[in-house]
Structure 1
């Protein structure tokens, strides 16, 4: 009795069809896990946003939508505190800090990546070792330095420290610079481009995604920083939004007038600008992170 033969082409077609249900189940599980994680991540933000639009008696009712909308909470917090001045201060300080650390870290990273000099590895390891120092260790010496030059009660310490670079960003940008073809710079040197021109005209345009990542990281870190404004700022008109939010919480929160809807409205005002920044910079941000993953 002859056994039926199966053509190799039929076996090749049947194998992917057999794996299709498994792939569908994996994809469905992936999307389900992603949905659950998204809900868990977004729920606190949704709660804060909706609670800020509720009357005082309904703030903690845990409803996803307010029964009675109270848009006047934002008007009240705007009138109760100089929120606009704090917003301008935060924008100024955050932009200055982000620009300063991006440029200074890029210059140092370019030096470590391009130039060959004795002790380069040791010096780079020394720079990275500064990341092991806790902020509390350098807090008092740094304050004494700013106090000795008469700037301890101004906004300058909030951003001027970034003029000396950051070890984390130096490492991040150095890894990107190392991935650039060195022949490109050698050809530019033959054409008469100077040392700074190699950095500014060639390296900087090629590493723009990494620079944007550095800028956004520091912008967010400076925007949400509360410790340094607590240490240096005394004048209410110089407060940044996180420092102002602390003042609002002290006045209207647990130890104050128990007007939590105003505290939550201030929280939304503080958080919303960073959400907009990440939304606008999303393409460059993802591109920079993906490129760093390949270079590293």
Structure 2
């Protein structure tokens, strides 16, 4: 027994000696922290510059003497932007409406379609899934004109419908996420639910939907980020200022200056902050769900 204990002790010590160099290799050093600080400063500098311009006075804008570190703090610019001749408040409300409906459409449709590809049995299902995934390789510019002609013939131009309705028909990338997640979940869950008398919609609503929460929240964040900052879609389909979202309205602020006069860059940067701040808050609140999303093992739904 003593010999066995000695042998086990020697093996443990040998294992610790082998792991020690690896642990030291990944230990942070002052050089590591210094490098991270430099990289963080470089990445943060443009954001600080945006805030500095947003807090500048009109005289600084006209002279163009901007500085990276703020020297002026005109907080009234954040209220002045809503008093311009452009309906900035309406722009903000339009962005909220378009984004919320788009998120709802993507979450509902992607969850159902991804679950169907993962669980339902149908002839040609795998081929259809490959076709859906292949659509990710088609550039948006190729389908832009046919889509515009289709929506024009439907009478949807200058409405929110072309920006919202396509989201209720899912997205190839989101379908892939849901399908991969569901395919890793035990099929015994479905079988037990079927024995209790549940159909596919009942299984999805009562069992799969709660487990898919991290993936669906991640899809909602991805969709919200894309829709909130979308510029090309509203530029193509919307004509009235009263229907434009904030992403397009910020560009119109730069076009309100007279000939030869500098645009109100301080108000433009205020609009840019209003455009970026909600996305930062959404990511901060929902980042734990992004980290929990594990499409390789399907374990996030049962944590």
Q: 2:109–2:168: 8 Å Cα contact kept in structure 1?
A: yes
Match in the other structure for 2:47: 45
Normalised to the residue count of structure 1, the TM-score between the two structures is 0.88
Residue 207 of structure 1 corresponds to which residue in structure 2? 212
Q: TM-score, normalised by structure 2?
A: 0.86
Equivalents in 2 of 1:142, 1:10: separation in Å? 66
Deviation at 1:138, TM superposition (A): 1.0
Which runs of 5 or more structure 1 residues have no equivalent in the other structure?
Answer: 1-6
Partner of 2:70: 66
Cα pair 1:253 1:259 within 8 Å, conserved: no
Q: Does 1:198 align with 2:203?
A: yes
Structure 1 partner of 2:167 = 162
Using the alignment, how far apart are the partners of 1:9 and 1:181 within structure 2? 38
Question: Does the 8 Å CA contact 2:48/2:69 hold for their aligned counterparts?
Answer: no
Report the counterpart of residue 220 of structure 1 in structure 2. 225
Q: 1:114 to 1:21 in 2, by over 3 A?
A: closer
Counterpart for residue 261 of structure 1: 266
Deviates more, 1:254-263 or 1:135-144: 254-263
Count of residue pairs brought into register by the alignment? 288
1:30 Cα offset (Å): 4.2
**Residues 1:292 and 2:295 are matched in the alignment:** yes
Which residue, out of 121, 124, 127, partners 1:122? 127
Displaced runs of 4 or more, over 6 A: none
Matched, 1:186 2:188: no
Match of residue 139 from structure 1: 144
Contact 2:158 2:237 in 1 (8 A): yes
Task: Name which of structure 1's ranges 253-262 and 237-246 shifts more when overlaid on structure 2.
Answer: 253-262
Structure-1 residue corresponding to 2:4: none
Deviations 1:196-228 (A, max 9, x none): 011111111011100000010001100000001
- Please name the residue that 2:248 is paired with: 243
Gaps of 5+ in 2: 1-8
**Segment of structure 1 superposing worse, 78-87 or 8-17:** 8-17
Indicate which of 79, 95, 101 corresponds to 2:83.
79
